Structure 1
């Protein structure tokens, strides 16, 4: 390629300083619009309840208050225990989910696997049909005997057919067969090739599935509602939902009891709801940079030499 052609190619992809400033400004505004709702939730959670009732929702409230967080923190050890249970369930569940999904997706992505079509259809069928809540409850509590155990919140979410299909497609499109075959020529077995060759090249896909699984486990409260009666095993989302239910119960019965009316007036209703959202969301927000690091790392690992 001549120097003139190289110069023309650079001119085509060159963006002037003015356009670069405009595009960065548009991207910054869009990023701010994405982040602002959560910032506004934090502001509301720090607003005095009486000020909120009088002035409504404002970016700069007339009076700040930590009463909502004090109300939520009154549970003390229960809140910390719920955080610990949720973190344990999320970490263990994500690891188990990644192991099971990555192995299943890799098997059905290989053309040499004789039963790949059968297991692909088997996974897709679970996306279309399920046994329902009652049979699932019977399997978990009676057949597997997982009621009031940490595994009742982990195993039901460990396999996801949709994630399997995503990772299967990623293996097919992003992991060349030539790399796997070259490893086998050098003496690598199927499992060794998967660990040493496929997984390093699949970090973007694994990070995506890991993020989905982490969000699913962190936000799950339904399994705890079904299977957990032990107060020491209640996860964060379920505990916050119980606090919200208690507030609603007091609201509904406030007219029937002077005591309930006094309790209702002492509860920061709207701000406490926002405080619950903040407490439940902040840890998962801090997890995003770690997944982002693996996204970038995975995109720069390996390739087929020509």
Structure 2
């Protein structure tokens, strides 16, 4: 119990550190770093974030919808794909498995990918450009396929004896037995959608008001950094340079 309590405290510590630092003034954080106990107590960080409360709320809603939708659809596709690829009577399963594995080793590059999404699929400024690429990954399909192999083949055969079709067998017999794999893969998918910002930076322009949460926070951080650099540059331009530099 003591070890569990210590581990729980260690897990909570980063959140307490973030919470305490959020109430500290910027100057104190810059000099002393992060701290659980706020120093120079201020609400400035929260004022800046909630300055556009409507946009923040919209970003939360967009992210939640994407996370729930993407995780649900992704689990359905990955589980059905993994089940089909482990069926020995499925034609060309080895060839399809090879291409899935091959896709995990090599990438076509950013430029072809961008052109495909924008000019091929016309998904510029479309939430589908963020949703679709994260639905599946070769590694998650392989993980599901290997787990489905552990399900006894007799279960599938019993379904066939009772006259059930392939989809009925998967839905009623196989799918309920995939709970551990579904929980693991669902966690990966949900975290991927919740923390997603890269796809948004590629395909969502300023025309989209409500962007995913992480990308909105990324933009806020960049804006703050830009303002800091601009102010620092202004100080330098108005200062007197030493004669040695001239």
Which residue is equivalent to 1:277? none
Q: Which has the higher contact order (CA 8 A, sep 6+)?
A: 1
The 2-side partners of 1:42 and 1:78 are apart by 22
1:67 CA displacement: 2.3
Moved more, 93-102 or 135-144: 93-102
Question: What is the TM-score normalised by the length of structure 1?
Answer: 0.72
In structure 2, distance between residues paired with 1:220 and 1:64: 32
Shift of 1:63: 4.9
CA distance in 2, matches of 1:103, 1:54: 54
Given candidates 119, 136, 145, the residue that maps to 1:159 is: 136
Q: How does 1:204-219 map to 2 (within 5 A)?
A: 204-219=180-195
Q: Is the 8 A contact 1:149 1:233 kept in 2?
A: no
Alpha-carbon distance between aligned partners in 2 of 1:195 and 1:54, rounded to the nearest angstrom: 58
Indicate yes or no: 2:77 matched with 1:70: no
1:54 to partner: Cα distance: 6.3
Distance 2:175 2:138 in 1: 19
The residue matched to 1:239 in structure 2 has which SS? helix
Report the number of matched residues. Answer: 234
- Return the offset for 1:55: 5.5
Separation in structure 2 between the aligned mates of residue 224 and residue 104 of structure 1, nearest angstrom: 27
Seen in structure 2, the aligned counterparts of structure 1 residues 34 and 228 have a Cα distance that, compared at 3 Å, is same
| Corresponding residue for residue 85 of structure 1 | 62
How far is 1:252 from its partner?
Answer: 0.9
Match in the other structure for 1:191: 167
* Contact 1:163-1:209 at 8 Å conserved across structures: yes
Give 1:38 shift: 2.1
The match for 1:129 is 106
Q: CA RMSD in A?
A: 1.8
Scaled by the length of structure 2, the TM-score of the pair is: 0.88
Over 3 Å counting, the alpha-carbon distance change for 1:61 and 1:209 in structure 2 is same
**Equivalent in the alignment of 2:199:** 223
Residue in structure 1 matched with residue 238 of structure 2 by the alignment = none
Cα pair 1:148 1:233 within 8 Å, conserved? no
Corresponding residue number in structure 2 for 1:113: 90
1:34-61: per-residue Cα shift (whole Å, max 9, x none)? 2212221112112344554566543323
Structure 1 residue runs of 5 or longer lacking an equivalent are 1-23, 259-306
Q: Is the 8 A contact 2:78 2:141 kept in 1?
A: yes
1:38 aligns with 2:15: yes
CA contact (8 A) 1:147 1:227 kept: yes
Q: Is the 8 A contact 2:24 2:38 kept in 1?
A: yes
Cα distance, 1:130 vs structure 2: 1.5
Structure 2 CA distance for partners of 1:217 and 1:55, relative to 1, 3 Å: closer
* Gap regions ≥5 residues in structure 2: 236-246
